Structure 1
Amino acid sequence: MPMVPVEVLGVRQQQGAGQEIVVLLLDPAAELVVPIIIGPREASAIAMAQAHLTAPRPMTHDLLRNVLDALRVELTRVEIVALDDGIFYAEMVLGTGVRVDARASDAIAVAVRTGSPVLCSAEIVALAGVELVDGEQQREMERFRDFLDHVTPEDFGPPEEGETPESPERDV
């Protein structure tokens, strides 16, 4: 399946029913944006990494990056490989050639932390991509990028119990 490089534009809260949070992937060649619905924790993880913010203690995606670093295994790339019934499937491709099945949001959060490229199946871009058609959408993207420069974890609501960056877990 042909893969195309995509840019992780960031996360955004959709207006309307359910106030869904999406991560936006841009295929610049096709001028299509692929929105993937994600949870608030993953949204916070992606936004924090893009804003170069760190928690006082490693979050799950930081931990995975740290384990890869400790093992001296590179995350070569993340591939969004399938879309089934509205669910996106990803694989993390390691420098050893091993492919690890992952949720798209988790794989993207690790890719942003490691500076690894994200690729998406051309078929998925064609099926789920939304066209960029006018200057207003370009301005929206610029405002969104500005938002990423100033986002904080608190912008995505209260963290779940035991996962607050302000109160690090204790090793007992």
Structure 2
Amino acid sequence: MVPVEVLGVRQQQDQEIVVVLLDAAAELAVPIVIGAREASAIAMAQAGVTTPRPMTHDLLRDLLGAVGVDLDRVEIVALDGGIFFAELVLSTGVRLDSRASDAIALAVRTGSPVLCSAEVVASAGVEVVDLAQQREVEKFRDFLDHVQPEDFTTGGGPVEPSPDDTPP
């Protein structure tokens, strides 16, 4: 199991809603397709929004507190046929099967860590690309696409090596 950060909820271009988990060590993001209600529950909890009456995930949090049980962690344990499987690990040692979206919504409300199976990260993770780095790579590719041999000469002659370029 590897710790992941709940980056947030995003709507993709194809209108699917995903919650994005980040494995910073591997620089991989795991997008999990979720429903609109679960997305709203996660986003509201991350924003610190409270409702006049408790939502289902708030009720679960409050119920755990009322019986003196903590949510130790959430584990995303498997990916099968495009479905993510999660478990709630309670302070009593009890493990409960859960949908990944519900487990994440509860973890965000309780401040509990979210862990993900390394196999799930490896199979569902997508590489995180730094936008600034991506722009630099695009500039360099453009340069390579348009560079001519004569661009490496000045005034029609060869480029003089700098003192740093001369062999010792």
TM-score higher than 0.5: yes
User: How far does residue 114 in structure 1 lie from its aligned partner after superposition?
Assistant: 0.1
Higher relative contact order (CA 8 A, sep 6+): 1
2:92 is aligned to 96
**Helix, strand or coil at the partner of 1:72:** coil
Q: What is the CA–CA distance in structure 2 between the aligned matches of 1:128 and 1:61, rounded to whole Å?
A: 26
The 5 Å alignment of 1:33-72 reads 33-72=29-68
TM-score (norm: length of structure 2): 0.78
1:10 is aligned to 8
Match of 2:79 among 80, 83, 101: 83
TM-score (norm: length of structure 1): 0.76
**Helix, strand or coil at the partner of 1:46:** helix
Task: State the aligned residue count.
Answer: 134
Query: Where do 5+ consecutive residues of structure 2 fail to align?
Result: 135-168
Which AA in structure 2 matches 1:130? V
2:142 is aligned to none
Across the aligned residues of Structure 1 and Structure 2, the Cα RMSD in angstroms comes to 1.3
Q: What is the CA–CA distance in structure 2 between the aligned matches of 1:14 and 1:137, rounded to whole Å?
A: 22
The 5 Å alignment of 1:133-172 reads 133-135=129-131
2:28 is aligned to 32
**Helix, strand or coil at the partner of 2:6:** strand
User: How far does residue 52 in structure 1 lie from its aligned partner after superposition?
Assistant: 0.3
Match of 1:131 among 124, 127, 131: 127
Which AA in structure 2 matches 1:50? Q
Q: What is the CA–CA distance in structure 2 between the aligned matches of 1:49 and 1:73, rounded to whole Å?
A: 20
2:112 is aligned to 116
2:102 is aligned to 106
Which AA in structure 1 matches 2:2? V
Q: What is the CA–CA distance in structure 2 between the aligned matches of 1:40 and 1:137, rounded to whole Å?
A: 33
Query: Where do 5+ consecutive residues of structure 1 fail to align?
Result: 139-172
Q: What is the CA–CA distance in structure 2 between the aligned matches of 1:122 and 1:105, rounded to whole Å?
A: 18
User: How far does residue 84 in structure 1 lie from its aligned partner after superposition?
Assistant: 0.4
User: How far does residue 137 in structure 1 lie from its aligned partner after superposition?
Assistant: 8.8
Structure with higher Rg: it is 2
User: How far does residue 135 in structure 1 lie from its aligned partner after superposition?
Assistant: 2.1
Which AA in structure 2 matches 1:10? G
Which AA in structure 1 matches 2:8? G
Which AA in structure 1 matches 2:23? D
Q: What is the CA–CA distance in structure 1 between the aligned matches of 2:90 and 2:46, rounded to whole Å?
A: 21
Q: What is the CA–CA distance in structure 1 between the aligned matches of 2:20 and 2:113, rounded to whole Å?
A: 14
